[in-house]
Amino acid sequence: MSNNIVPLTELISQFERLPGIGKKTAQRLAYSILEQPPERAEKFAEALINARKKIHFCKKCQSLTDLEICSICDDPKRDSSVICVVAEPRDVLAFERTREYTGTYHVLHGVISPLDGVGPDQLRLKELMARLSDGQVTEIIMATNPTVEGEATASYISRLVKPMGIKVTRLAYGIPVGADLEYADEFTLARALEGRNEI
């Protein structure tokens, strides 16, 4: 059952196109906009336009930024000899949250996935190779997701980079901190056993 108010239907369908937002939630969100002062909708609209217009990819690491070179690449305190290679811009934020990583990043904007028609040429690989050409980089940390595509991408890049004499590492597999062993899947547990460390 739809309302038959065209502008409302359109707003609901815009919310519905967002990832993880279903029909019911989209309706709830659209109504919430209508219940608030018009300035609220205007601010929201402005933020959407602004973000999309002002944010682009960092010339160096291909992460998101509103500057030419992002604040991480531009920070002299970051160790530019280490590059953490991730699939998506949001992965950068995940690593930054750890407050442990002091190297730089490179965002591929995807992973190799033949089924979806994504080959190495669709990724920001050329830009990564360009960064490696001056011999300053000593380590590449492959931080793509632990999925088939993420693994394939990691090993593809590893084969490209290793001959250049650059160390290539991969994130450790294992049990998540705070997790219950009972609920760990067998593949994760097997990897955790494999990678066990002396204490």
Contact set with a copy of itself (CB under 8 A): 1, 3-8, 10-11, 13-14, 17-21, 25, 27-35, 38, 40-55, 64-66, 71, 88-90, 92-93, 96-97, 99
Considering beta carbons, is residue 24 or 126 the nearer one to a copy of itself? 24
Which contacts qualify for 125-130: CB closer than 8 Å, 24 or more apart? Answer: 125/157, 125/160, 127/60, 127/62, 128/83, 128/85, 128/157, 129/160
Considering beta carbons, is residue 38 or 178 the nearer one to a copy of itself? 38
Smallest distance, a copy of itself to C-beta of residue 38, A: 5
The whole-angstrom separation of Cα 27 and Cα 162 is 51
Considering beta carbons, is residue 5 or 129 the nearer one to a copy of itself? 5
Considering beta carbons, is residue 1 or 172 the nearer one to a copy of itself? 1
- Cα–Cα nearest to 169, from 140, 132, 129: 140
Smallest distance, a copy of itself to C-beta of residue 161, A: 26
Smallest distance, a copy of itself to C-beta of residue 148, A: 21
Considering beta carbons, is residue 29 or 192 the nearer one to a copy of itself? 29
Smallest distance, a copy of itself to C-beta of residue 191, A: 26
Smallest distance, a copy of itself to C-beta of residue 117, A: 17
Q: What are phi and psi of 103, to 5 degrees?
A: -85, -160
107 Cβ neighbours under 8 A, 6+ residues apart = 57, 61, 62, 63, 86, 87, 88, 89, 91, 92, 124
